[in-house]
Chains A and B, each alone.
Chain A
C-alpha cells in the first residue's frame, strides 16, 4: 500500500530566465508549453496555482539577494515517482535557463539543479561584481 500513497509536491518556476546564466528576459511560450507537455504526459493530475509568487534568493555567484517572481505548480504523485519529477525539473532548469528549481516534497524543500553537461551548465553568464 505504501507505493500507492500520494505525496504533495510543489515547485516554483520563475517567470524570467536567470540573469546570471542568461538574459533575465521573459520565457518564450515554447518553454511553458514544454512543461505542460511533460506534466500532461507524465502525471494524471496537477494544478497551477493562480497568480505570481514573489520571493528572494541569494546568488551563489555574487552573494547578493536576487528578487524574483514565480508560478507555482502542485502535483500529487506516488512516492515511487518523485524521482521522475526530479528528473523533469532538472531538465526544466535547462529549458527555463535556471540555476536550480525550488521543489517541496511533503514540506521538505530541495533545490533541483540541471544535470552536469545540461544546457544551463553550458551557458556562461556575465561575471558578477
Chain B
C-alpha cells in the first residue's frame, strides 16, 4: 500500500490525503493511532498528543500557529475527538455547531452574520442554543448568501483506527 494513495477519513467524513506526509510524520501518525488504541482515556490521550505533536514540530522550528494547521495535528485531534465521542464525553457536531464555527471564524459578531445571511438574531440565538431548528430551505438560502452550501456525506465509522491504512485511513 503506497502512502501517496492513502487517506485519513475524519469524524466529519472529510478525506485527508496522506501523500504529503514525510516518513517521520507518517511514523508519528502511526504512533498516535497506536497510542489512541492502547490508551483510550480521553484526558490521557489529549495530554499525550498535544505534547507529542508540539515537540515534533517545535524541533523543526515551526511556529505553533503553523504546526496546528498540519495534517498530523488534524489527525491527532480527530483521534482524540473519536475517543471523547465514543466515551460519551462530547457529542459529534451538528449543523448548528458548524454554523457557530462559521460565525466565530468569519464574522466579528452574530449581528454581522445575521445581516449577511438574512436570518433574524432572535432565531439564530435559539438555533445556536439548540432550542430550535432552521428549515432546510431557510438554511440553504442563508448559507448561499455567504458562499456556503449544504452537502450530504456518507456516515463514517467512529471507531479509532488501528494504524495508517486501516480504520480511519483508506486506500483511494
Q: Using A40-B68, A48-B46, A122-B110 as known contacts, say yes or no to A30 and B101 having CB atoms under 8 A apart.
A: yes
Tell me, in angstroms, the Cα distance from A39 to B51 when the chains sit together. 12
Q: Which residues of A contact B77 (CB under 8 A)?
A: 33, 36
Partner of B125, one of A30, A32, A50, A122: A122
CB interface residues, A 91-123, toward B, < 8 Å: 95, 97, 117, 119, 122-123
Known: A21-B129, A41-B65, A122-B110. A26 touches B90 (CB 8 A): yes
Give the number of chain A interface residues (Cβ < 8 Å).
35
B1 within 8 A of A: no
> Cβ of A125: which chain B residues have Cβ within 8 Å of it?
129
How far apart sit A39 and B100, CA to CA, in the bound complex (Å)? Answer: 20
Q: Does the CB pair B46–A28 fall under 8 Å?
A: no
**Given contacts A33-B77, A41-B64, A25 and B44 within 8 Å (CB-CB):** no
Whether the Cβ atoms of A32 and B84 lie closer than 8 Å is yes
B16 within 8 A of A: no
What is the CA–CA distance of A105 and B49 in the complex, to the nearest angstrom?
A: 26
User: In angstroms, how far is the closest chain A Cβ from the Cβ of B111?
Assistant: 8
Q: Which residues of A contact B (CB under 8 A)?
A: 15, 17, 21-23, 25-34, 36-37, 39-42, 47-51, 71, 95, 97, 117, 119, 122-125
| Other 17 A-B pairs with CB < 8 A, given A28-B91, A50-B41 | A22-B129, A23-B129, A26-B91, A29-B81, A29-B84, A29-B90, A30-B93, A33-B81, A36-B80, A41-B68, A47-B47, A48-B47, A50-B43, A117-B109, A119-B110, A119-B128, A123-B129
By Cβ-Cβ distance, the 7 closest A-B pairs, closest first, are A28-B97, A23-B130, A50-B43, A28-B93, A29-B81, A29-B90, A22-B129
| 25 contacting pairs across A/B (C-beta < 8 A) | A17-B129, A22-B129, A23-B129, A23-B131, A25-B91, A26-B88, A26-B90, A27-B91, A28-B92, A28-B94, A29-B81, A29-B84, A29-B85, A32-B81, A34-B101, A36-B46, A36-B50, A37-B68, A40-B54, A47-B47, A51-B43, A71-B43, A95-B100, A117-B109, A125-B129
